[in-house]
């Protein structure tokens, strides 16, 4: 059995990550009332940025791998 590789989290996984991040933001401010919406929005922005950064770096890594393979094939043709 092989593990599936996903490029991005499911909507439920994204929601769960945001919820965890928002909890820690609320904890940092001592769970003072009235900040839950701000915590959620900040957590959402942070998680979305992390996901985008991961997707960008994964795309870059895939492109670099393809370039290395292409170059290797070109070099083997010249031998």
Give pLDDT tens digits for 28-57: 999 999 999 999 999 999 999 999 988 888
| 76, pLDDT greater than 80 | no
Size of the chain, expressed as the number of residues it contains: 79
Question: Does residue 46 fall inside a structural domain?
Answer: yes
Say what the pLDDT of residue 36 is: 96
| 78, pLDDT greater than 80 | no
Chain segment 1-28, per-residue pLDDT in tens:
344 456 789 999 999 999 999 999 999 9
Domain boundaries, position 51: 11-28+41-78
What letter would DSSP give residue 7?
A: S
Question: Does residue 33 fall inside a structural domain?
Answer: no
Question: Does residue 48 fall inside a structural domain?
Answer: yes
> Quick count: other Cβ atoms within 10 Å of Cβ 57?
10
Question: Does residue 4 fall inside a structural domain?
Answer: no
Question: Does residue 61 fall inside a structural domain?
Answer: yes
| Structural domain total, the chain | 1
| 68, pLDDT greater than 80 | yes
Question: Does residue 2 fall inside a structural domain?
Answer: no
């Amino acid at each position: 059995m092989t593990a599936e590789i996903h490029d991005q989290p499911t909507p439920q996984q994204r929601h769960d990550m945001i919820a965890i991040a928002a909890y820690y933001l609320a904890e940092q401010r001592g769970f003072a009332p009235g900040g839950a919406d701000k915590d959620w929005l900040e957590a959402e922005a942070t998680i979305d940025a992390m996901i985008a950064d991961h997707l960008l770096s994964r795309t870059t890594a895939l492109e670099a791998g393809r370039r290395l393979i292409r170059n290797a094939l070109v070099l083997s043709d010249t031998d």
